[in-house]
Amino acid sequence: MAECARYQRVVKSTVQYDPTLQFVGGSPWPGDLSASGLVLPVAPTTSSELRYLVRLCGLRLGPYVRCVVRWVRQLLTIGTELPTEQGGAVIPVEQEVISPTWRFIDGNVSWHLRKLAVKRGTYIRQPSDVVAFPPYTALQEGQLSGILTRQVTPYIPLNGGIPPGEDIGGLGNMRDMRYPYANGVLPNDLNLEVVGPADVIFFASVWQTDPETRPNPPDPGNTSALRPEDRFVLQYPESRYWRIGAEMLLDVCNPEPR
């Protein structure tokens, strides 16, 4: 059953540090340098064990607390930096990925909606010898956005890069842009039930492209038949995966009073 007589509606989304906000900030709050989504590192991925493991967003459920995942949305952009006419600064240019199966020929992104068991007395664990800074995090448990890391430079992911936990509703390993942000608000039609104690976490795994070695196609002249992502890469061949994010809408069900 995926209905709640009494519930609290919760929206969780990806928020992380954005380097382009250093001089203007991201909101009225002093010192806020965060933006929607997480800006991915430039360094290309070299093996499947070194893919960037990203915790996009999540929610913790207490014992016997039930929630229903109503919808999820995926945010992914490709982009590059352009020099300004004045020099000395760069301007990021992004293109949202909306074509469901589009990817770089030497990279890709997978998405993972997972349930993580939470035992009584669980505490946040962090390797004692890891120094992490935004957007990286060495915290193995949690719900906040970040790139899970065992070592920042060169990057080594936690858990061998494998998203932990159990599949939720067949969305534990998606290889496409099934629910893109560009589609707007989705109907409440997923109705995926999860019972605590557990963390409901949306992960992503990114194989970052290498523009310097990536083969690029010749300019076809007439680009009207190409997908928007391909047209962007033709114009900006140095493009890479730039920003990633997600959103979940959940109804946390309150037990009926006795």
Question: What pLDDT score does 47 carry?
Answer: 95
Q: What pLDDT band is residue 155 in, cutting at 50, 70 and 90?
A: very high
Question: What pLDDT score does 258 carry?
Answer: 46
DSSP readout, 67-135?
A: EEEEEEEEEEEEEEEEE-TTSS-EEEEEEE--STT---TT-EEEEEEEEEE--TT------TT----TT
Percent of the chain with pLDDT over 70: 89
User: Is residue 241 pLDDT above 80, yes or no?
Assistant: yes
Closest CA to 214 of 93, 41, 45, 38: 45
Q: Please give the mean pLDDT across all residues of the chain.
A: 88
Separation CA 254–CA 89 (nearest Å): 51
- The structure's pTM equals 0.90
pLDDT in tens, 38-95: 999 999 999 999 999 999 999 999 988 999 999 999 999 999 999 887 776 788 999 9
User: Is residue 22 pLDDT above 60, yes or no?
Assistant: yes
Question: What pLDDT score does 255 carry?
Answer: 60
Separation CA 71–CA 249 (nearest Å): 5
pLDDT in tens, 190-227: 999 999 999 999 999 999 999 999 998 787 788 888 99
